[in-house]
Amino acid sequence: MHDGQNLFDNSVSFGPHVWDIPEAVDAFFPNSQYDGVIIVGIDNASSHGKFSRMDEYSPWPRNTSFPLPGWDPDVDYSGGKGALYVDFIVNTLKNYIDSNFRTFPDRNNTAIAGSSMGAYISLFAAILRQDVFSKVGVFSPALWFNDSAMLNFIQENNIVEDLTVYLDVGTQETSGMREDFPEVYISGAEKLCVSLRKQRNVTIDYHLWGGDTHSESAWAKRFPEMLKLFYC
């Protein structure tokens, strides 16, 4: 999972809340057919530059036709390193995890997930490396970063392996920079849902969460729904 700083521990989070992953896992798995799950949080690269997170979480540059009033103009030059990031996950990080922990390394037991830009790169990774991932969690995807590139990527790449997709969005995913951000996020999630449902081997579970914001507290509440889809 991406944005690892925000998953487990408030003391290292860059926001006021975290996903409370340990509590969610401990509550879920006693009622599951599985014994448990290993969740690896990958810290984002925000400490390496103001838009390094966006650089890593998108394989394409930002679509500058979507205005972001009030943002630093340098955001228009962000994105484009996502493929390198996925290569690191698959060929360096996963190899280390499988060598040092008691994993089931096959694709049927490997998932990738994230929120916002983390959702964006998760979906890209799951489609690009179908040989590695069989499940993907797409929370509040920031499709606005480059909607046409992602939708074209889905259309141009046949999903030949079974892929389970948890996709969701809240109705109040907003930002002070654009009053229409709630509609933008909902529209983006619905576009992804339509596009993915055209693929033959995709099982998709889509949720629209009334009143939910673009926040770790909202994703923490919804995280068990992904666990239920993947591990029940």
Burial 106-121 (b: 16+ CB within 10 A, else e): ebeebbbbbbbbbbbb
Question: Is the residue at 194 inside a domain?
Answer: yes
Does residue 62 register a pLDDT over 90? Answer: yes
- Residue-wise pLDDT for 78-105, tens only, equals 999 999 999 999 999 999 999 999 999 9
Question: Is the residue at 128 inside a domain?
Answer: yes
Question: Is the residue at 216 inside a domain?
Answer: yes
Does residue 48 register a pLDDT over 80? Answer: no
pLDDT at 176: 66
Question: Is the residue at 98 inside a domain?
Answer: no
Q: What is the CATH number of the domain that holds 142?
A: 3.40.50.1820
| Domain boundaries, position 35 | 4-44+106-231
Quote the strand ranges of 125-222, DSSP E: 135-139, 163-172, 202-213
Alpha-carbon distance of 46 to 55, in angstroms, equals: 10
Does residue 33 register a pLDDT over 80? Answer: yes
Question: Is the residue at 52 inside a domain?
Answer: no
- Residue-wise pLDDT for 137-192, tens only, equals 999 999 999 999 999 999 999 999 999 999 999 999 987 678 899 999 999 999 99
Q: Under DSSP, is residue 138 helix (H, G, I), strand (E, B) or coil?
A: strand
pLDDT at 177: 78
- Which of residues 15 and 228 earns the better pLDDT score? 228
**pLDDT band with cut points at 50, 70 and 90 for residue 15:** confident
CB atoms within 10 A of CB 227: 21
pLDDT at 91: 98
- The number of distinct structural domains making up the chain is 1
- Which of residues 136 and 32 earns the better pLDDT score? 136
Q: What is the mean pLDDT of residues 35-57?
A: 90
Question: Is the residue at 79 inside a domain?
Answer: no
Cα–Cα nearest to 114, from 146, 92, 82: 82
